[in-house]
Amino acid sequence: MKFPKSICFALCCVVSAATHAGAFNAVTYGDTVAKDIASEVTEQFTVRYPTSKWSVFVWTASGVTDKGIPHCTGIAGVVRKGTGAFPIKRYWTTSFNPDENGSKTVGELRAWSVRCAKSAVANMMSDSLEKMYLAPQQP
């Protein structure tokens, strides 16, 4: 069965658009990488903040207190592509779990960082798209 060229072109455009929906850039510091937060980034975000100009900023840290309680902090924001500075508007998450005290492996601490990063990004995605980015003030 042969399809007219116009139908084939239209199908290619639809497949291409579907493949690129949700693409985003990320600037990450700590144990988290872009694929760790991909499930939290919404399509509405990627439409408002295209990859050609914007990046999701994520900073994470995790550790264990002197009493053996694991903790993590995640910070998310929106920055212009190509910059790595902390965003002015930040979305924070901090987590402690006293039920899991004791030493943690590097992999377990990384998992904590990923949870905090995802939570911080989800927090950011819950805000109005227009409020996520705050431009630096010029002197």
Sheet with 91-96, strands from edge to edge, namely 26-29, 54-64, 70-80, 91-96
Element (H, E) at 105: none
Nearest to 77 by CA among 62, 94, 95, 55: 55
Tell me the per-residue pLDDT of 29-76, one tens digit each, with 9 for 90 and over.
Answer: 999 999 999 999 999 999 999 999 999 999 999 998 888 888 999 999
Question: Please, how many CA atoms are within 13 Å of residue 45, restricted to the half-sphere of its CB?
Answer: 26
What pLDDT is recorded for position 69?
Answer: 87
Tell me the per-residue pLDDT of 64-109, one tens digit each, with 9 for 90 and over.
Answer: 888 888 899 999 999 999 987 899 999 999 999 888 777 788 898 9
Residue 18 has pLDDT above 70, yes or no: no
Q: Per-domain residue ranges for the chain?
A: 24-131
Top CATH class of 24-131 equals alpha beta
